[in-house]
Amino acid sequence: MVTMKKVDVPAFHPTNPPNSLAPFLSFPTLPIVQHRPGRGWLKEKLRVGTWKKEGLMGSMEWTVLKREMRAQVRERLRRMDESILVQESLSVERQLRSCPAFQNARSVSVYLHMPRGEIRTQDIVSTALQQGKRVVVPQVLDSSNLVVGDEQRTTTMVMVPVRDIRDLTTWPKNRWEIPEPPIQPGTSEDDAWRILEESLGTRTLDVVITPGLAFDERGGRLGHGRGYYDRFFDALDQRQWNTPTRIGIALGCQRVEKVPMDPRRDRPMDVVLFGS
């Protein structure tokens, strides 16, 4: 188990000197194996594990850094044996049972895993329910049932309660083959937050168990690129909820030396548990 102090990423400010971002930009343990046209200069910077471009990085540079790391970690996951996935999922569940933040939590958000490439979480959901915790799981609202007013967004992630482990076997699966609780058409984002507050009885969510494609031991997290969890953490702040303990869980092959974290928008984890 790797535990970090909140918050490991320094605040971004336009007047920060360029080298203030240097700690986030080196991950030499991941050799670059892919090259995209027009990015030869970036490949060379990453190959030597150092960013020497002067000035602050823009969104495009962060995007390319993350894209390269995602490609490499996905290749690791593609080669992973199923037996290792099972073994490491059990290891993470045991570590989580011993994690003080989880032990003391009264409410927990747990992601539901994809068929491959993620720590399996059904045992975590079962453990939390058996311990009397209130459990919520992600639900992605899309354009067919999302009402967001003037905001130009077609999807958003909310949390909905799960009361019985058997629900996970009866819920329909989404396009990622993940079980999702059914939701009434026309449900707005505000409706979903209101339902969440009513189910918890408070605007407090103690722990958010967070998936990702890669993690480092400083709490850096690289997601799949859709930004659902970063926006969810932002929404907790905007709606004046508490700040939960963010726990990342990952397979051993998802551990990297350093995740490229954009300090303007990426949220670090407070705890990271690796399967090996």
- DSSP string covering 1-34: -EE--S--SPPP-TTS-GGGGGGGS--TTS----
Least confident of 54-58, 101-105, 177-181: 54-58
Q: What is the pLDDT of residue 177?
A: 85
pLDDT band at residue 201 using 50, 70 and 90 as cut-offs: very high
Residue 177 carries which side chain, given as an amino acid letter?
A: E
pLDDT of amino acid 147: 46
**In this structure, how many other beta carbons lie within 10 angstroms of the beta carbon of residue 170?**
10
pLDDT tens, residue by residue, 29-52: 443 333 333 444 344 444 434 443
Residue 22 has pLDDT above 80, yes or no: no
What pLDDT does 59 receive? 66
78 in a structural domain: yes
Domain that holds residue 223: 67-146+156-274
- Distance separating alpha carbons of residues 119 and 10, to the nearest angstrom: 29
Residue 4 lies in a domain: no
Q: Is the pLDDT of residue 215 over 90?
A: yes
How confident is the model at residue 155, as a pLDDT? 78
Domain contains 26? no
Tokens of 105: 């939590």
**What torsion, rounded to 10 degrees, do the Cα atoms 46, 49, 50, 56 define?**
50
Average pLDDT, the chain: 79
3-state secondary structure of 105: coil
Distance CA 242, CA 249 (A): 21
Residue 213 lies in a domain: yes
pLDDT of residue 184: 78
DSSP-derived letter for residue 50 is -
How far is the C-alpha of 273 from the C-alpha of 252, rounded, in Å?
9
Pair of tokens at residue 6:
């909140």
23 found inside a domain: no
Q: Which CATH number is 161's domain given?
A: 3.40.50.10420
**58 or 166, which is more confident?**
166
The pLDDT tens digits for 165-183 are: 888 888 888 777 888 888 7
Give me the mean pLDDT over the 69-84 stretch. 94
Close Cβ partners of 184 (under 8 Å, ≥ 6 residues apart): 145
115 in a structural domain: yes
Tokens matching residue 222: 């690289």
- Return the pLDDT at 57: 58
Is residue 22 domain-resident?
Answer: no
Of residues 86 and 155, which shows the higher confidence score? Answer: 86
Name which of 29, 10, 22, 30 is nearest 57 in CA terms.
Answer: 22
pLDDT value at residue 151 = 47
> Is the separation of the CB atoms in 259 and 216 below 8 Å?
yes
- Give domain status of residue 30, yes or no: no
Q: What share of the chain is helix, strand, coil (3-state, %, to 5)?
A: 35, 15, 50
Tell me how many domains the chain contains.
1
User: According to the model, what pLDDT value does residue 116 have?
Assistant: 85
Q: Are 210 and 248 in contact (CB under 8 A)?
A: yes
